[in-house]
Structure 1
Amino acid sequence: MRFEHLVEINDPLNPLIPSLTREQVWSGLMLRVDEPTVFLPGLERCEILSRAADQVERRLHFGGVQVRDTVTFSPLEWVRFESSANAEHAGGRLTIRLEQPDPLRLYLRFTYETTLPDGGAADGVQVSEFVKSAYRESDVDTVRIIRVLSAGGRPH
């Protein structure tokens, strides 16, 4: 399954939403790399296995399930999370790109590539639609957490 969507960070037409800089958003994305428990419900802990200038190897612990992933990034541009499939995890890739079409607008583009099929119904229900909805909610929550952290708060 491939799924892509945008989350708007800055909307110059809505003064009720404080604008964030590209650097603030990037800092939040890097926190998601180093402290993913803040962003991922159900994640009990994360071990950083190795770190290079543009890559981090991690082991994520979700209860009895362990997922090993590799995070690569280009500062202020994009971050990519890749995990291999195993018996307990389907594997896949998430790329988050910062997009700034003009100085006043800023977006995050989330692109998911998983081993799940794009279509197919289970008991008449499109499973991929549930997954896409969960991804969308998680991504909106990521932006909410970045906003709270940028304002000096602690996420709940």
Structure 2
Amino acid sequence: MVSRLRAKQGGAEIPVVVGDMATTRVEGPFSLVYLAFNTINNLTSQEAQVACFLNAAAHLEPGGHFLIEVGVPPLQRLPLGETILAFDRSETHWGIDEYDVVTQNFSSHHAWFRDGSYRQFLVPFRFASSGIRSYGAWPA
């Protein structure tokens, strides 16, 4: 990702630090710490997610904001007692999420079908559902 950024116009001027978002420290402070597109789910334990929050707070200036962009799992679509929910069913891709609502862990199972063969992989995640506020749009 860093090499793709560097290849773009102006990409060489953007400072980049590669590290663990739960522990890596950088020069600050900042008015905004932003976790983009579900990255918080990649921290697969509550301890790691809490460490990320603490690390973000340590980088904020007084009055700063910590913004997390994350999808809320559609747990209300799970039938009682079920743990598996399909999110994509096409001729070339099957996507199935498997939820453990007690531990707040889930795994995203993917299978791609191409040229008479298939490949599959599994991605582990963790969601944190308590206290999530969802905004449909930014206030004007």
Q: TM-score, normalised by structure 2?
A: 0.36
The structure carrying a bigger helix percent of its residues is 1
**What TM-score, normalized to structure 1?**
0.33
Q: Which structure features the higher share of strand residues?
A: 1
Greater radius of gyration (CA): 2
